[in-house]
Structure 1
Amino acid sequence: MTQPSAVGERYLRRTFEGMWELFAEGQGPLGTNGASRRYAEFGRVALPPAIGRPRQSGGDRPPGTVPSWLPEFLWLGFGLHSLEVGPSSGWPYHRTTPSARCLYPTEVYVWLAAGDGLPSGLYHYDAPHHGLDLLRSAVASEVVGRAVGRDLAGVTAAAFVTSVFHRTAARYRNYAYRLCSQEAGMTVGCLAFAAEACGFRPAVCYRFLDQAVQQLLGLPDGIESPFAVLTLTESEGPVVPPELTGSVSVSAATANLSPLTVPTEESTTATPQFCPEALELDSSSRLVRLDSIRPCVGDATGCPPSAIAPLDPVADGTSEFDCGISTFDPGALIGRESGPPNFQPIPVSMTFAQLCGIVRRATTGEPPGDLRLPSVRAPLSIFVVANRVTDLSAGVYRFAPGGPRVVHNAPVGRRLQRITRSTNINACASPAVLYVCTDAKLYLDGFGDRGYRIMNLEAGALAQRLSIAAAAHALAARVSNGYDTPALRELLGLGSSWDFPVFQIFLAKLRLAPRYRFPLGGCT
């Protein structure tokens, strides 16, 4: 177990309980919407459109052609899916994952094993232009495996999720690390969904040698950091690649890696002055030894003693929990919608069956990972403020095995509107507001300062699954951090100062507005 320093708890309190004081220290101008790095001097692979293409097995493809699953996986998991225009359109470019003010600090890199069409190597995915840049060719699984700390011999591909801090820090300063880790978590959830849609068994790795992965990908230190690795497996066997035996040092993992120079972006040199506290936490979160964090081996539920409890995905056979959508329906992912900047939804009701279906679909999609044994679930819980849900009285509920449990059996919409502080969001008009909550002490005690990052990553993956499930019921899902944490903690009945609502998601039916979205089917 890695002991947390004062850095992790201080940043946790600052970005949740002291968020408004943090904002009062100053905010900068907005950056470039939909920014993405271009590797002009590297080998370029144009990907075919992600939709409307017949699937091909490996033996049916000409040598050197793109695997048929790859464009779909990358586009569904991280691609640019629509262009929005119109008088009420705030930000034009939209991907399959939401982003604070559409600043998109997240980047995705993919390693392909040998023998699947394209040359084995490490690629950067250029989402706005739906293409790949070859960074390193003929990268053996042993090289990638040493950085990740896993035996990747049976893995088809691996996706690396990183974050470019300055894109968000230019606006949000020291608050940026929370937003970057939240978005990275939602991207992990999206990529895992896309991997399943493409027939893979995904697994998430949060324990890796940060410096080794940085050198592997050529990430500039203090500018861009790796947050997670998603492995894709086709063959039978363990979903989570086996851990390497013996200790692996950073020097050993990077011994044969040649330097990789990547393009720089404007304002990157100013990142330290934008967010020194965020960079301090990022530095203190890095692993130099894989055994400094061990998998959790708690009881079968991983339940902490507080109100936070992992949600059992089995609902005791109650038919209301039917999700009503295909397990791997890409249409639900493409249909995910956050709504316009001025979030004023139609004040209509949703059904209890819809609400339970959304929660069940989200809680049955958790991919396995390297943090816990298969029997131990992440210490996340889902609460709901029900404003207009048929067959469910207005109030506050915590989801538990068998259905919602009452926290407050009375309308709380007006109280929630005061807690929500974001004047551009009408909380009372939302039929239901979902909250992903956790006991942050479990993360910091179990994973040290890295626990702050992991908490947001795991909560973000669950939040993205909730958003996708809502889209299947033609509901928008607006993620907003604009709430008073102590007041919301009291509303949800969270008794400990370590219990935190990490995500707030407004479900809603959107009004017609002069904003028009043109779908982009993953075209170059």
Structure 2
Amino acid sequence: MPEQAAQRYMQANLIPPDPREVDWKAAPPLCKLYRNCEQIPCAGTELAPVRSDKDTRSSGGSIPGLGLGQIGQMLADIYGFTRQCYQPSILAFLNIHEEYIYSLYPSLLLRSVPSGGALFPCEVYLLVGSESEDIPAGIYHYDAAHQALDILRRGDYSTLLQSALAHPQEPPPVITLLLSCVFWKDGFKYGAFSYRLQGLDIGTVISQTEIVARHAGFSATLHYQFLDHILNNLLGLDPLQESVYAVLTWGQALHLASQEVRDKAKPLLITPDLAKPVPEAMPLASIAHWPLVEAVHRASLLDTREAFRALHRLAPIQPPAEEEYETTALWTPDPPLDLWQARHSRHSANGFFLPQPLVAKQLGALLHLCMRGTTNDLDDYCEVLQHTLLYCVVCRVQDIPSGIYRYEPQRHALSLVRAGEMTSQLQGVLRQADHMHFYTSISFFPIGNYQSGLEVYGDRWYRVQNMEAGIIIQRLYLAAAALKLHCRASLDFNVPQTDAFLGLGATSTSLVQIMIAPECLIYQQYEQSLRI
């Protein structure tokens, strides 16, 4: 059974290697650069925001007025570099690992999305159709270092893309983003544990894409199911080094094709042009470096249409059956927080918080948009995310008693799971005490059900479940930034102990922890803006 690979990976309960054991010289370049590749500069031109409560999916299929400058700005908002951070190296001061000591104050390039270790394993590609206004039809790679589009292939590949998707859209989109995962980007540091991180990282980019598209007045439709070998070949990728994880289409009236339309899709036509190699990029290490990760990844790939699943095959995740507990209604901000405005101020706290309480209105604003649904090829359009629950451990929030709560997004309310002071128990589930839960105001835990998803989608569900958790991470980060609070996502907790602490059932598990509180400013690093 191919599902066994993901189950074995989860049962291994992997942890990151000791930093002193990492071969820092094996670190790949931060940016993927193509050699001898033609480029199209795409300096940004700000799009006028669309502030409307109307469904942005309700008008024409084209994207009027979306030219090169606007697309360049959207790509910069999604995945461009926003800040340069200078931070003192603890390893340097302690002289623990001399090979890592590039300087006493190494710098990091940051983006509008968080990433484990600021290593950013995601790469962004663009498929442009023939109806684009001023970008020639073709396949492009977004070069964030030079704010340009690398030309990988010329020509309209929209028909090929439609044939490779499980549920193509009507009409075909003019602009499509393909998000890939470069396994060695963070694998050199985190080893086999990086496979868990990578789905979360790609999920934050998915979330940011949806937020930027919504600001521009149109929708982003998310595809998890596609023929991997077709899209990887289209981008010229070695699937054991880099592989497409998600496809997002931009438009204003993109409706998922019915099952009947999908079954009648034209057969794949591999044109002679597709056999031509794309420009060469620096080769990276293979995922085969970790046999268990390679097994999960290979089992996750979809090679035939028979592997596709119809819409709504997987039932929404259900909370555990329990007695009715006290419910606390939350304040609803009007207007809602503008997550797009917070993209440049998104900040990952270093784990040192101030022991100051939040007010209940801040908690209501944080939660208001974090579980909003997406349009995707699993469930079509839903008002809330269908396959992830959100648990909240309240430590310091005025007018809300301390305890464990489950967020009910359709009612915008908290359902009490267990009352009482939880900071000591929360601190106890950490693998390393590198941050203090005694100072954290609130901790969020996205909860998933791997078992039910694996039964329907096979091993591919492991990365899909983590991508949905990543969507929540990015929304909480931006909401915290909009409220001038600080946020930190972490996987540094013991999963079985945390599941028991939260009172989860046998099939549910905690995916990631997101801590929010006012930050102790004395520990902040110096950051320089790189805004485009």
Deviation of 1:324 after TM superposition, in Å, equals: 5.5
Deviation of 1:408 after TM superposition, in Å, equals: 1.9
Could you give the per-residue CA deviations for residues 216-266 of structure 1, whole angstroms, max 9, x where no partner exists? Answer: 1111231001100000013x4x44466653376996457762232443436
Q: Please name the residue that 1:39 is paired with.
A: 34
Contact 1:111 1:158 in 2 (8 A): yes
Once the two structures are superposed, the pairs formed by residues 159-170 of structure 1 within 5 Å of their partners are 159-170=177-188
Once the two structures are superposed, the pairs formed by residues 33-432 of structure 1 within 5 Å of their partners are 35-49=30-44, 66-87=67-88, 91-114=107-130, 115-149=132-166, 150-151=168-169, 153-234=171-252, 236=253, 238-240=254-256, 244-246=261-263, 252=269, 257-265=274-282, 268-269=284-285, 271-273=287-289, 275-297=290-312, 302-304=316-318, 306=320, 320-322=331-333, 325-327=336-338, 329-340=339-350, 343-364=351-372, 366-374=373-381, 377-400=385-408, 401-432=411-442
Contact 1:248 1:289 in 2 (8 A): no
User: Quick check: 1:9 aligned with 2:7?
Assistant: yes
* Aligned counterpart for 2:474 among listed residues 444, 464, 472: 464
1:307 and 1:184 mapped to 2: Cα distance? 32
2:486 and 2:18 mapped to 1: Cα distance? 30
Contact 1:378 1:458 in 2 (8 A): no
Unmatched runs of 5 consecutive residues or more in structure 2 = 50-61, 90-104
1:280 and 1:193 mapped to 2: Cα distance? 34
Residue 491 to residue 60, structure 1, CA distance change in 2 (3 Å): closer
The two structures, once aligned, show a CA RMSD in angstroms of 3.0
1:60 and 1:303 mapped to 2: Cα distance? 40
Contact 2:34 2:282 in 1 (8 A): no
Could you give the per-residue CA deviations for residues 155-176 of structure 1, whole angstroms, max 9, x where no partner exists? Answer: 1311001011012111122112
Residue 307 to residue 7, structure 1, CA distance change in 2 (3 Å): farther
2:220 and 2:257 mapped to 1: Cα distance? 10
2:508 counterpart letter in structure 1: D
1:476 counterpart letter in structure 2: H
Deviation of 1:404 after TM superposition, in Å, equals: 1.0
Q: Please name the residue that 2:92 is paired with.
A: none
Contact 1:33 1:104 in 2 (8 A): no
Could you give the per-residue CA deviations for residues 21-59 of structure 1, whole angstroms, max 9, x where no partner exists? Answer: x748995334548711112322211121455x779x998
Q: Please name the residue that 1:489 is paired with.
A: 499
* Aligned counterpart for 2:513 among listed residues 504, 514, 520: 504
2:519 and 2:29 mapped to 1: Cα distance? 23
Where 1:362 maps in the other structure, the secondary structure is coil
Q: TM-score, normalised by structure 1?
A: 0.86
Contact 2:488 2:514 in 1 (8 A): yes
1:405 counterpart letter in structure 2: S
2:337 and 2:439 mapped to 1: Cα distance? 29
Where 1:104 maps in the other structure, the secondary structure is coil
Q: Which has the higher contact order (CA 8 A, sep 6+)?
A: 1
Q: Please name the residue that 1:29 is paired with.
A: 23
Contact 2:180 2:244 in 1 (8 A): yes
Where 2:505 maps in the other structure, the secondary structure is coil
Q: TM-score, normalised by structure 2?
A: 0.85
Q: Please name the residue that 1:312 is paired with.
A: none
Could you give the per-residue CA deviations for residues 52-110 of structure 1, whole angstroms, max 9, x where no partner exists? Answer: x779x99889xxxx533212211111111111125477652101111111111110001
2:453 counterpart letter in structure 1: Y
Unmatched runs of 5 consecutive residues or more in structure 1 = 309-314
Where 2:438 maps in the other structure, the secondary structure is helix
Q: Please name the residue that 2:529 is paired with.
A: 519
Residue 96 to residue 422, structure 1, CA distance change in 2 (3 Å): farther
Deviation of 1:142 after TM superposition, in Å, equals: 0.7
Residue 431 to residue 151, structure 1, CA distance change in 2 (3 Å): closer
Provide the identity percentage: 23
Contact 1:110 1:160 in 2 (8 A): yes
1:13 and 1:25 mapped to 2: Cα distance? 23
Contact 2:235 2:278 in 1 (8 A): no
